[in-house]
Amino acid sequence: MQLFYNSDINEATQQLTFSKEESRHIVRVLRKKERDILHITNGKGFLFSAEISIASDKKCIATIVNTETKSKPWNYYLHIAIAPTKNNDRLEWFLEKATEIGIDEITPIICQNSERRVVKLERLEKIVQSAMKQSLKFTLPKLNEPIKFNDFINQNSDETMCIAHCEEGEKKLLKDTVKPSEKTIILIGPEGDFSSEEIKRSLEKKLQPISLGESRLRTETAGLVAVQTISLINQ
């Protein structure tokens, strides 16, 4: 199944007009004709089937003929706050893989040791969207604006918050820290790790220091290992 994404449609939508770019793709590349059925999600747990009424490569129009609700295939709520990697590809890679496995919310956090402090959300949005479509999911992970480390730990406090830092000290394994179906936030630091000051603050804020295991992992690998650990705990 080829899945399209359109955030604007909802249960009340009857007709759908595709953008020029999408119309071209549908008619020219996919060679869809009138009466063909397209599958579209709004990323909010809905799958819409729409019949093409006008197969124009500039302005393709389709009429919604069926609406299904689709619950997400993962049974947990996971929010990863991750420092953008120096090399942007690595963050993008993390977003793609995390979306495939199952994640609800991602926040880029700017830390003292962050070498990259600017993030192009628009590009990241596109990566998350295509990963959702490619893995046939109907719930789009929420991608938040970048935020400074301190602001982030100050404003999130109700969920279980874990910090995966590399400094010495008492740490439990992530898999022994989080309970199934527990709403969880996990902080992943930049290449140079969280600063001692940030780690100190996180402890004052009662974040749980966790370990992802014996191996030394890159930022984006640590992020993915965290996602897969939560996924397994809930399997």
Q: Which amino acid appears at position 138 of this protein?
A: F
Among 31, 35, 206, 216, binds its own copies (CB under 8 A): 216
- For 150, residues 6+ apart whose C-beta sits below 8 A from its C-beta are 198, 201
Q: H or E stretch including 174?
A: helix 174-177
DSSP codes of every residue in 10-43: -TT--EEE--HHHHHIIIIIS---TT-EEEEE-S
Between 136 and 147, CB nearer to its own copies: 136
Amino acid identity, position 189: G
**Whole-number minimum distance, CB 83 to its own copies, in Å?**
17
Report the nearest approach of its own copies to the CB of residue 214 (Å).
4
Of the residues 175, 192, 201, 205, which one makes contact with its own copies according to CB under 8 A: 175
Say whether residue 102 binds its own copies (CB under 8 A): yes
Q: How far is the CB of 26 from its own copies (least distance, A)?
A: 22
213 binds its own copies (CB under 8 A): yes
List of residues contacting its own copies (CB under 8 A) = 73-74, 93, 97, 100-102, 134-137, 173, 175, 213-218, 221, 224-225, 228-229, 231-232, 235
